[in-house]
Amino acid sequence: MCGFIGMIGYHDCAGDILLALQALQHRGQDCAGIGTISGDQFPVVRKLGLAGHSFSPDDIEHLPGQVGLGHVRYPTVGSGLLRDAQPFWYRQPGVLMAHNGNFVSLPTMYQRLESESVHLMSHCDVEPVLCIFALELMRRRPRDHTIDDAVAALQATFEQAQGAYSLVAALKINGRETLLAVRDPYGIRPAVWGRRGRSFVVASESVALDALGATLAGDVAPGEVMFFQRGAEPRRVRLAETRPAPCIFEYIYFARPDSVMNGHSVYGIRLALGRELARAWRDKGLQADVVIPIPDTSRPSASSLAEELGLPYREGFIKNRYTGRTFIMPNQGERTSALQLKLNPIRSEFAGRRVLVVDDSIVRGTTLRRTIQIIREQGARQVHLAIHSPPVLRPCYYGIDMSTRDELAACAFTSCREDHPNRRQLEDAHREVERRLAAHLGLDSLTYLPLEGLERAFPHGRCAACFDGNYPLELTTAQQQWLERDRRSSVQRQLCL
């Protein structure tokens, strides 16, 4: 998972891009990069670590130009090394590119590039896409490319580059600096755009626009490319037939609550998830004295759940704001040690009480076991856990870091191994996971959000494949195996360093 920003304005934009990247920092903490177009130059600066910490005023000074891209990276293909940091740049005809998502057809793209003697410098999956796009543009004409050339080149590129992605690029079209943004035909990964005065901004989330004082104008539509040039209204071209299926996990966990994506407030969806979770909890006939969120993501759902159940809502954990998000740390060792720094309990909120703790999801579950232990140590009389999403039973091949089934906690606690489970099988698996995982974690009860609760909370087209196995973009077995192998070896490479 990553975050990007693209900007075309009327003054040097690198400083603004750096500001926006800090609003997107939750989408990736491994590396950050900024690239601009300045005359005939394409300066790029890429750094390891947090955007706000790693760029100096000197770096920004060396990134002049009124059009540019920024990126924060969390690797789901390739590693967290600097060579994989974005944006990437291709010399001919001069293109900058950055993306969020996963391309699932990488072996095919590698073959194409090998056949044209194009060599790559990284393991990042946007680099081959950039190279193919540049080759396709140059095939049409050697210079003075038009918007029609760019559209044809994009269509040819995305016939080869399949996956879940939103992508920004900067190049010259009709001799003018141009920013373009594309979203895959399912709109799995988010992309919004907006205006600030006469400048245009595109980004993974609307919080980046807020940070710049830009006004949200809408989404880059699934299967669409938008072209932005100074002094002209954006031009929109449909590249492919669409069937919108935005990632529901963005609303459950990943996006900031103050973001609006696909026209829906993330905060509003989390409140709805909490109300649905309250219904599931009430149906079980369980009792609690207090509702406590595991910060930060589940705060909205815990508050609406408490409201529905008429229970007091309390903050039982204080989060150390100087540690990172454990889920997006690249390996398990880092995730476990980070947790010990991260949450400090307030004993008085737990002691002697039947506590209903709310969390957003259980992916690997490794940090949860210790969290439950901490709650027990505070003297809680009962510990119940409610999760505002269903059990994660299938991997994600679309850019969230859970691409192998054997890393998913729920899979270890169900006998369901169906690739395409029906509703009945899913409900059976759901109950089995609740029962067996609760015992494993030492809980008095575990309540997941039922699938129908998820559907009521988000009654729109969506990808929920990690919960229900319905992948909008089907992968071949070879593609699945390739992605799983890549993920395992990337983690291994990092552990060896």
Catalytic residue among 2, 31, 247, 466: 2
For residue 238, report the phi and psi dihedrals to the nearest 5 degrees.
Answer: -80, 130
Helices 423-441 + 366-377 axis angle, to 10: 50
Nearest-approach distance from CB 400 to ligand SF4, in angstroms: 4
Q: Is the dihedral of CA 23, 24, 28, 34 positive or negative?
A: negative
Strands 176-183 and 290-293: unpaired
SS3 of residue 277 by DSSP:
helix
**Cα separation, 201 vs 17, whole angstroms:** 10
Looking at residue 450, the DSSP 8-state letter turns out to be P
Question: The tokens of 453 are what?
Answer: 């609760």
Cα separation, 347 vs 295, in Å, equals 16
Closest CA to 386 of 399, 374, 372: 372
CB 486 within 8 A of CB 411: no
CB of 464 to ligand SF4, least distance (A): 5
Positions touching ligand SF4 (CB under 6 A) are 188, 247-249, 396, 398, 400, 463-466
Q: List CB contacts of 155: < 8 A, sequence separation 6 or more.
A: 239, 240
Residue linked to tokens 């319905």: 470
Least distance CB 165 / ligand SF4 (angstroms): 11
Q: β-strands 2-8, 67-73: how paired?
A: antiparallel
Provide the residue type at 201 as one letter. V
* Cα distance between residue 391 and residue 365, in whole Å: 11
| 3-state class (DSSP) for residue 85 | coil
Token pair listed for 30: 């491994």
CB of 469 to ligand SF4, least distance (A): 9
How many degrees, rounded to 5, is the angle at CA 478 between CA 472 and CA 483?
75
Of residues 121, 137, 120, the one with CA closest to residue 172: 137
Q: At 307, which amino acid appears?
A: E
CB of 398 to ligand SF4, least distance (A): 4
The answer to whether 31 is a known catalytic residue is no
What are the catalytic residues?
Answer: 2
